[in-house]
Amino acid sequence: MNNELPLRPAPIRKRDNLFFWDGAKLEELRIQKCNCCGKLQHPPGPMCPQCLETDMGYQVCVGRGRVYSWIIPRYPELPMFSSDLVVALIELEEGVRILSNICDVAHEDIRQGMEVELFFAATQDDGKVPQFRPATQ
């Protein structure tokens, strides 16, 4: 019997987030950055929420941050997600927050402010999706 989880579903790729998913495939965490005022934002959008310009680029982030908040969803269970899935809001060192998963840690050990680091999980389309786990010192 195969106990491995099926690969995660392919992400929905759109014009405003192509750079993000292209970066993930290369194991880079690309966060959208306004080329006019420098504001970082996630999720990506068509314009800067601060200066309303549409000249957007991205910044490659180091992939370290802290747990801001988290939940442990219970239903519905899907075969491509383990039953110990943790959905977390991670505040990156660069100051922007990203919604992702925390892996490789017991639920009772997760704490607000816990340091985490980035890794990537494979998706069904040969892509990758950013995930986090407790940081190694």
Q: pLDDT per residue over 54-108, tens digit each?
A: 999 999 999 999 999 999 987 766 666 666 789 999 999 999 999 999 999 999 9
**Total domains, the chain:** 1
What's the sign of the alpha-carbon dihedral 103, 119, 58, 40?
positive
Residue 86: inside a domain: yes
Residue 68: inside a domain: yes
What's the sign of the alpha-carbon dihedral 121, 118, 98, 46?
negative
Range of the domain at 87: 18-134
Q: What is the DSSP letter of 101?
A: E
Residue 3: inside a domain: no
Within 13 A of 110's CA, how many CA atoms are on the CB side?
A: 23
**pLDDT given for residue 75 in this prediction:** 72
Please tell me the pTM assigned to this model.
0.88
